[in-house]
Amino acid sequence: MQSPIHVTSEIGKLKTVMLHRPGHEIENVYPDILHRMLVDDIPYLPIAQEEHDYFAKTLKDQGIEVLYFAKLAAEALADDQVKDEFLEKMLAESGHAAGAVHDALKEYLLSMDTQAMVDKIIAGVRKDEIHTKSVSLAEMAEDADYPFFMDPMPNAYFTRDPQASIGDGITINHMTFKARQRESLFTEYIIKHNPRFANKGVHVWRDRYHDTRIEGGDELVLSDHVFAIGISQRTSADAIMDIARNLFKDSNYDTVVAIHIPHNHAMMHLDTVFTMINYDQFTVHPQILDGGKIDTYILHPGKDGEIEIQHRTDLQKVLEEVLDKPEIDLIPTGNGDPIVAPREQWNDGSNTLTIAPGEVVTYDRNYVSNDLLRKHGILVHEVRSSELSRGRGGPRCMSCPIVREDLKN
């Protein structure tokens, strides 16, 4: 059976993608919680939505099927028993495993139709939306001024991160920060219960019930047997060993390239500094390369289920070797200028979404990087980015490929 998920490269013609249109969760962010919510500013929602619709239209105009995360989730929860089980888990992960608040939240959420319920969970539930007879001591003594019973999920529009398609399967991710961890519970239900995916042979390479952390922004499918991953603020080395073991055991993948990037918010994922845009072309933020060098590890299956690890530092050479290309073109974000490069990287100038070999979607504001891509022969579709970029993610972060065409060679 052909799996409904099929992604054997970063660049093969994109056929189906999953997005999330930003909703009310954005308006439930206020200055005191910005940092914890992992955003640096508050997008103006109506414009963010217009920009997001433009992004979706840009993809649709290229013949790409666009699926929406919240709709897939609601479809997955059509059965009452499944919905109940999901809600119990979601409430527990939101800090309400039992008790009066749990009961009131459950009643409130179940009073809505399923789509409204999903949208509400993503948006967050304020305390003043529900009435509870009694509250806990923690509620009274510790959290009295806090406005939410369920936190908003303002990063939900970065559908790249809670999960990642690899080959005919997916990783459902245990994300690093609490602000995002519940997002992948939706993914788990989508894969298990949405008729598009349920019982259709989707391999789960790694589920979300692990202590070690991994996020999709670090996961890059370089070819049908080479997988690259960031050792980053969001993805730990232990998780990489685990995923490598699973891929080597059950898939066509025989090479994992782990790239150690700086652990900071501006570069939280590998795809904020490095993306693949053609058979032999990549964007790279020049500041991660120290004279062309960066700590890189190549993992291969060894004897008796062991993993062999080679330490390397020349990224360009590593890519040439693992992709079997005579020469790799690394295109520097912001043309390598000491001011332009970090400025455009901050607004996701390195975060290109490749929709076909040599064809990408990027933010319009990164005009220096975009011009340079064109000079390197890349076809660039620019999308509007004033508000969306405030969440600190670009077109690759905002998209989760579900199906790509296989590459010809």
Ligand X SMILES: NC(=[NH2+])NCCC[C@H](N)C(=O)O
Question: CB–CB of 272/234 below 8 Å?
Answer: no
CA distance 375 to 34: 38
Q: Which helix (H) or strand (E) holds 119?
A: helix 114-123
Beta carbons within 8 Å of 296's beta carbon, 6+ residues apart: 257, 258, 259, 260, 311, 312, 313, 314, 315, 318
Q: Which is nearer to ligand X, 35 or 249 (CB)?
A: 35
In this structure, what are the phi and psi dihedrals at residue 182, rounded to the nearest 5 degrees? Answer: -75, -20
Residues that bind ligand X (CB under 6 A): 38-39, 155, 158, 160-161, 180, 217, 268-269, 271-272, 391-393, 397
Which whole-number Å values give the CA distances from 328 to 226, 316, 321, 335, 350, in the listed order? 15, 6, 10, 17, 16
Q: Which is nearer to ligand X, 23 or 391 (CB)?
A: 391
Q: Which is nearer to ligand X, 99 or 262 (CB)?
A: 262
Question: CB–CB of 261/240 below 8 Å?
Answer: no
- For residue 335, the tally of other CB atoms under 10 A from its CB is 15
Q: Kindly tell me the burial class for residue 279, based on how many C-beta atoms sit within 10 Å of its own C-beta (0-12, 13-18, 19 or more).
A: middle
- Tokens 């479809």 label which residue? 75
Question: CB–CB of 229/220 below 8 Å?
Answer: yes
Q: Which is nearer to ligand X, 64 or 388 (CB)?
A: 388
Catalytic site residue 400? no
Minimum distance, C-beta of residue 267 to ligand X, in the bound complex (Å): 9
Minimum distance, C-beta of residue 337 to ligand X, in the bound complex (Å): 22
As a 3-state breakdown, the chain gives helix, strand, coil percent values, each rounded to 5, of 40, 25, 40
Q: Which of 37, 105, 175, 397 is catalytic?
A: 397
Minimum distance, C-beta of residue 257 to ligand X, in the bound complex (Å): 18
Q: Extract the runs of DSSP E, i.e. beta strands, from 87-138.
A: 125-126
Which whole-number Å values give the CA distances from 3 to 7, 152, 198, in the listed order? 10, 33, 10
Minimum distance, C-beta of residue 317 to ligand X, in the bound complex (Å): 26
Q: Which is nearer to ligand X, 151 or 161 (CB)?
A: 161
* Minimal CB distance residue for ligand X: 217
Minimum distance, C-beta of residue 169 to ligand X, in the bound complex (Å): 19
Question: CB–CB of 258/222 below 8 Å?
Answer: no
Q: Which is nearer to ligand X, 74 or 261 (CB)?
A: 261
Minimum distance, C-beta of residue 22 to ligand X, in the bound complex (Å): 12
Q: Which is nearer to ligand X, 22 or 391 (CB)?
A: 391
Minimum distance, C-beta of residue 163 to ligand X, in the bound complex (Å): 12
DSSP for 321-332, please give it: HHHT-S--EEEE
Catalytically annotated residues: 397
